[in-house]
Amino acid sequence: MYVCTVHIAIELNSFYSAAVLEYEMRGFERFTNRRQVGSMTGLCPGIHQSDGRGKEGSINRCGIGIVRWTLVEMVWRLMIWQPQYPPVRRLAAGLVKGKRARKRLVVQAARRLAIDLWRLSTGQTTPEKLGLIMHK
């Protein structure tokens, strides 16, 4: 359902971003779960594990660079146009002061946005359930 991605892009004034995501990801319908979507973006944390214990590191960047860049750009736009969207709520409210913490929140929100766009495209959810306000 490519229409959902385009509809979100219209709300964000981001036709180019929707086209880039659709082209580079080759359609969201080909993914069967959210982990596949996250892995394709390269926004997932790398895991360092030994002897049953481990910790998460920085993002692994094992995905498509232009997709990462586009999703981050869309998050910054969401911060302006959809500040009530849960992943960007803390960013939009200005509660995070540090540059590093802000960048981490942007990456987290970009990963969540990619998964939410996949859920919208496959018909698993609606924009209202995600906290997005759609204007007609």
Block mean pLDDT (10 aa), the chain, length 136? 52 69 77 81 72 69 79 86 84 80 86 86 82 70
In contact, 41 and 64? CB cutoff 8 Å? yes
- 26 C-beta neighbours (distance < 10 Å), count: 10
pTM: 0.78
- Whether 55 is in a domain gets the answer no
> Using an 8 Å Cβ cutoff, are 118 and 25 in contact?
no
Domain that includes residue 121, residue range: 2-46+60-128
DSSP 45: E
- Asked if residue 98 is part of any domain, the answer here is yes
31 in a structural domain: yes
**pLDDT for the residue 59:** 67
User: 135 in a domain, yes or no?
Assistant: no
The answer to whether residue 8 sits within a structural domain is yes
- Whole-angstrom distance, CA of residue 119 vs CA of residue 89: 20
Distance CA 98, CA 31 (A): 35
- For residue 105, the one-letter residue type is L
Q: Into how many domains does the chain fold?
A: 1
70 located within any domain: yes
